[in-house]
Amino acid sequence: MTDANAREAGGRPAYLGLGANIGRRARALSDALALLDATDGLSLTAVSSVYETEPVGVTDQPRFLNLVARFECRLSPEELLAAAQDAERRLKRVRARRWGPRTIDVDILLIGDERITTPALTVPHPEMTRRQFVLVPLAEIAPEVALPGGRTAGELSGGESAAVRRLGTVAEVVARESAEAGSDG
């Protein structure tokens, strides 16, 4: 079935990478998932564990919380990008510095087997096969998904390490974060 036919029949899988490293990080991930799932044309079907990860690129910043989510997607790539950017905007994402601190980041990793290169969007995500903070959670929910270069997420994932540490489900991590925030006050 082509992606166009899959769209008409109910969609195709879209994998999104979410990350946050300032503010209530786990709450931002949870809120972004809820906003995306509430979008017409998107239906959340799987969510990885939350992982605490070291920053990449600009390393003088707080550690990130990252996860990967799978959605059944009936949106065009441009509509999916707009939904991701809308979630970021609604959660107060400020783009001050490339790879800098952020309240939320939503990256489109894969949309079915589509290949897209426009000034606004490249799919598959051009850096995903080099980023363990993407590969480890992606391999958790979709180890057999084929990636650029022909290898799978499971083959490329290095698993948990000091740089990519599993913290638990989104609900568990949000509860711990809320309890910690309450004890700070």
Which residue(s) pair with 116 in the sheet? 123
The pLDDT tens digits for 40-50 are 999 999 999 99
Looking at the annotation, which residues are catalytic?
93, 102, 105, 107
Separation between Cα atoms, residue 56 and residue 172, nearest integer Å: 25
The pLDDT tens digits for 41-97 are 999 999 999 999 988 877 778 899 999 999 999 999 999 999 999 999 999 766 666
| SS3 annotation, 91-130 | CCCCCCCCCCCCCCEEEEEEECCCCEECCCCEECCCCHHH
Task: Report the predicted TM-score, pTM, of the whole model to 2 decimal places.
Answer: 0.89
The domains located in the chain, with CATH, are 3-184 (3.30.70.560)
